[in-house]
A = this chain, B = another copy of it.
């Protein structure tokens, strides 16, 4: 393929310019992927304008991450069935979601990792993944995890959220043959360094088959899991 052809391939793309933001619709149109807005750092007005524009132009699912309740108040009653997943601070428009396929297992080390894990779960579900969850099975009580080996073995991809020592992904990856997405959380204090400790643990895992995402990046973990899961069921 020549550079000219490569450029030709990019030519189909077109951005929707709101002045303060450029919205891409092509990925959603092509692949029934959700359109996603990272709301932190945007004003409520900006985030609302983007989401409503997407709601009007696209027909697939929408996802606003790190959304505060004020955003939901602004867009909740504008003719679209937005819902607010408070625990995970998500604004979601569940429409055009593919029927769930495959198996993504979402695992957390502790209860406090729940909100981040939930963000991952919702993201993966919007992208058509069947998602199961297994929570509070950290390595300090191995029997909690070992009692669910069947769920671990059944997954096409496993998301493992953990803060503090971040040790759970290593243990899980040692048990399964599926890819493991390690999701560090900022749960902890002191030398946890707001999640840096868990992140480092996961990057240094002595078990193979692990890909790591940013601290508290439930969206990224869910998105990657859904991509892998989709590949596995095509």
Contacts and interface: CB of A to CB of B under 8 A. Distances in A.
Interface stretch (A51-59, A72-80, A93-101, A194-202): A194-202
A156 B18 CA distance: 26
Contacts of A208: 36, 140, 219-220, 223-224
A196 B191 contact: yes
A69 interface: no
Nearest to A26: B143
B189 A40 contact: yes
Given A136-B21, A204-B188, A234-B232, A212 B212 contact: yes
Given A201-B165, A227-B178, A11 B20 contact: no
Given A20-B135, A200-B201, 12 more contacts: A3-B10, A3-B143, A4-B11, A5-B150, A9-B153, A10-B146, A21-B111, A142-B174, A190-B215, A192-B204, A197-B204, A208-B219
